[in-house]
Amino acid sequence: MKKGMALLLACICLPAWSLDWKLPVFTLKYEVAGGASEDPDDETLLPTTVRNTLSLRIKEEADPAAFGLTLRTSAKDFLQTSGDYAYLEAEHDGAVRIADIGKFGYTFGMKGTGHAPAGSDVLSEESLALKVGGTALLWLAKGTSLEGGLTGRFVLAEDPADALQAYGAAAGFASRLGDWLLGLRYRGEFRFPLGLAATTGDHVYNTGSVSVQWDPNR
């Protein structure tokens, strides 16, 4: 029985071990951002916010697959008013390419956020967001592709009024005609309250774009 289980595990793991894995790529990034408001009395700009963000991304590739892990922490300080917050986020993504068909990917992650209530500098109000999504790109013909994606995000908060659910949809079409590449893209996000006590949500945001690219080198 044990030999049979060992053989089964070896057969399952064999395709993964047989892939030609490249060395992982590490990207460490630090970002600082600030904002200011104008003082109407002497017409000078006063610093109002400072945001510090540190992220680490690890990417591994083994043709035809690629995987990534992103860790990010960020804190935003409002220097003149309350409302400080900070978050810690982890996200994993992957994609696999299937010859003559297309490319399929997924992503899932979680994000914990702490908020400082009005009149306080202590982060005591917390929320947890869970995200999952999938993407697909299909090659319809040489130089022509159709892609789409769906994403779901669910925010659980200590204050039930802040709980929400958001769904994103994306679609794109690209076609090459000689040296010209035509692209059409759409992205929408739909937010709804999560739970009977929730008051946030009921928002829809849509984005559409058309692009034309001339590339005589291809």
Q: What is the pLDDT of residue 19?
A: 63
Q: What is the pLDDT of residue 202?
A: 82
Given the structure tokens 């083994």, which residue do they identify?
A: 62
List the CATH number of the domain containing 114.
Answer: 2.40.160.40
- Whether residue 79 lies inside any domain: the answer is yes
Tell me the average pLDDT across 89-118. Answer: 92
The bridge status of strand 144-157 relative to strand 164-177 is antiparallel
| First CA to last CA distance, the chain | 57
pLDDT single digits (tens) 145-173: 999 999 999 999 888 888 999 999 999 99
Domain of residue 208, residue span: 22-214
Most confident stretch, 15-29, 35-49, 55-69: 55-69
DSSP one-letter string for 76-124: EEESSSS--EEEEEEEEEEEEEETTTEEEEEEEEEEEEEEPPTT--S--
Give the rounded percent of residues in the chain with a pLDDT score beyond 70: 86
Q: What is the pLDDT of residue 53?
A: 96
Q: How many domains does the chain have?
A: 1
This prediction's pTM: 0.75
Residue 153: closest CA among 173, 175, 127, 176? 127
- Whether residue 7 lies inside any domain: the answer is no
Whether residue 47 is predicted with pLDDT greater than 90 in this model: the reply is no
Identity at 108, one-letter amino acid code: F
- Whether residue 5 lies inside any domain: the answer is no
Tell me the average pLDDT across 112-140. Answer: 85
Whether residue 9 is predicted with pLDDT greater than 70 in this model: the reply is no
Q: What is the pLDDT of residue 81?
A: 77
- Whether residue 13 lies inside any domain: the answer is no
- Whether residue 163 lies inside any domain: the answer is yes
Identity at 75, one-letter amino acid code: A
Whole-angstrom CA distances from 33 to 4, 30, 65, 87, 182 are: 58, 10, 35, 16, 35
- Whether residue 68 lies inside any domain: the answer is yes
